[in-house]
A and B are shown apart, each in its own frame.
Chain A
Amino acid sequence: MLEFIYEFRYAFAISLIVGIICPFVGTFIVVRRLSVIGEVLSNMSLSGVALGSLLGSIIPFSFVPTLQIYGTFFAIIGALLVEWLRKRFPSFSEISIPILLAFGMGLSVVLFSAMNGFNVNIQAYLFGNLLAVNKTDLITTLVIGCVVLIIFLLLYKEFFAVTFDAEYSRLIGIPRRLIQFLLIIIIALTISVTVRSIGSMLVSGLMVLPVATSLLISRGFKSLLLFSMLFSVTAIFIGLFFSYLFNLATGGTIILISALLFLSVLLIKKWGFQTSIANSKSY
């Protein structure tokens, strides 16, 4: 057991960071009813990564910055495009999401296939490989994770106000658009840093599932945050262990474990609720 932890110490460190920031960001996304936006941003950031690696393979010496930067940049563009498309379809604003989902995926597929077909690369970016991370990944994740957390801690009140009461926040003079834009940048950063370990197809699951689980049991915003972090870190650790033990895909295992957590909380709650009703009836 200890050897296992030592062998995959980078994976464990990364999963601790990711397991904290993903549900943190996810809580704000879910509460603002933007949970589908995570999908769009992750698809867009995938195409950014594809463009980055295409440029990297064309340009011989590597002054191309890390792929995460391309990913973040594209994810931000994606968020802006969502807004732009929403205005273009005034009475069907929800259609902007599937359009951009398709565009991001199509672009990344074409870019990846332009570089000598689908190789190991695209698999790693689609579905992630947490067990294969190295020291550089850990440093990138650590830096971006710290940035995200610091921005959040500094602006917690502002984010909270904008999320729950837009009108009130305007009254007390919070620059709403700036805060919203910052939130989008944070989401983009989180996604592009998580893609390496969980994979772009599964990032939004990690952002949404733990939050959905704790939404079932928590009674306030703070407990929502805490519980969702607890659930996500638990799921990631168990998933990491299982995927190593049975040689399964890491990202998929993590998502399945968090889905199991969700399901069991749901069933326990339902069962408990019904028995309490039955009890109250008997009285």
Chain B
Amino acid sequence: MLNDFLQFDFLQNALLSGIIIGIVCPIIGVFLVIRRSSLIADTLSHVTFAGVATGLFLQKQFSFFQVISPVSIGTAFSLVGGLVIDRCKKIFRSYEELALPIILAVSIGYSVVLISLADGFNANVYNYLFGSLTAVSDKDLKWIFAIALIVLFIILLLFKELFFLSFDEEAASSSGIRVKFVNIVFTILVALVISISLNIVGILLISSLITLPAACALQLSNSFKQMFLYSILISLVAIFSGLFLSYYFDIATGGTIVLVLSTILLIILLMKQAVKKLISIERMKVIK
């Protein structure tokens, strides 16, 4: 079992990129969750799908586009999408949350139409949607590594600003932080992270890798730093066990990772509840 992972190149690539993604995604996730905008990841990943579908369609129609990978067009879409979403929210003054399902639906609808115009649904499209163990090539791995490094570097560079913004946007802006600029940079980071996680977990499941570890860590940690540590730890555990399980049972990789993450969250929540009950029982005894 473990031998396979050491022996086959594609499994090694999957494992290595899994480690990288398992570190970058939860870091972005912690910021997103604290800022209460965890749904942005969902939206951007759907917009990325629209871009990927455009790429596939263009490849089919014009031989010129064979050079450009659909993923890069997807990234471009989510970069633009991230900047547009804020404007969309302003359309419905009293129903801000409406913008989100609309963007989700429109981008999926658009992609489905384009895909039906191109080749229809083949294995390739499903790999983009749900991820695949075999989808990471050597070249992809290098890209993933490079982009992850850039993202981490920028986060370290802007850590104080991001930290401040996440907890108190007004105070941050009044203390001279360029809120708009930092927000735009952060959205770009989210788009980049989505584009590198796309191969393994798939477009429909990326957001879970971003939000679920952060949600688990939120239950356990007492400080911001602890939250980072726990969420990275949990996501790595989930990615490893998800990769192994999906290879062993021959089931979808991304889905398995998500199910492992949800199980971890469920266990944490149930244990917390049990502990609370125990404490209250103890208290009752003391009172009696």
In contact, B130 and A255 (Cβ under 8 angstroms): no
Whether a CB of chain B sits under 8 angstroms from the CB of A175 is no
Chain A contacts of B251 at CB under 8 A? 110, 113-114
Bound Cα distance A50, B21 (Å): 28
Bound Cα distance A21, B51 (Å): 32
Whether a CB of chain A sits under 8 angstroms from the CB of B144 is no
A225 CB, nearest partner CB in chain B, Å? 16
In contact, A109 and B39 (Cβ under 8 angstroms): no
Known: A247-B116, A252-B110. A102 touches B207 (CB 8 A): yes
Q: Of B38, B97, B102, B113, which contacts A249 at CB under 8 A?
A: B113
Closest to A205 in B: B105
Q: Of A33, A38, A123, A256, which contacts B110 at CB under 8 A?
A: A256
For the side of the interface on B, what is the size category? Answer: 35 or more
Bound Cα distance A112, B255 (Å): 10
Chain B contacts of A109 at CB under 8 A? 130, 202, 204-205, 252, 254-255, 258
Closest to B36 in A: A94
In contact, A98 and B39 (Cβ under 8 angstroms): yes
Whether a CB of chain A sits under 8 angstroms from the CB of B44 is no
Known: A92-B36, A103-B262, A123-B121. A113 touches B255 (CB 8 A): yes
Whether a CB of chain B sits under 8 angstroms from the CB of A259 is yes
In contact, A102 and B95 (Cβ under 8 angstroms): no
Q: Of B91, B117, B205, which contacts A248 at CB under 8 A?
A: B117
Question: Which residues 239-288 in B have Cβ within 8 Å of A in the complex?
Answer: 249-252, 254-259, 261-262, 265, 269, 272
Bound Cα distance A208, B108 (Å): 14
In contact, A204 and B104 (Cβ under 8 angstroms): yes
In contact, A251 and B98 (Cβ under 8 angstroms): no
User: Which of B33, B38, B101, B202 is the most central at the interface, judged by chain A CB atoms within 10 Å of its CB?
Assistant: B101
Question: Which residues 111-147 in A have Cβ within 8 Å of B in the complex?
Answer: 112-114, 118, 123, 127
What total of chain A residues lie within 8 Å of the partner, measured CB to CB? 51
Q: Of B113, B116, B256, B262, which contacts A102 at CB under 8 A?
A: B262
A-B contact pairs, 16 of them (CB 8 A): A92-B33, A94-B39, A95-B211, A95-B215, A98-B42, A99-B262, A102-B258, A105-B258, A110-B255, A114-B249, A202-B112, A205-B105, A215-B92, A249-B112, A255-B110, A259-B105
On B, residues with C-beta under 8 Å from A are: 33, 36, 38-39, 41-42, 91-92, 95, 97-98, 100-102, 104-106, 108-113, 115-117, 121, 123, 126, 130, 202, 204-205, 207-208, 211-212, 215, 218-219, 249-252, 254-259, 261-262, 265, 269, 272
4 new A-B contacts at CB < 8 Å, known A107-B259, A201-B105? A105-B255, A106-B259, A251-B112, A255-B109
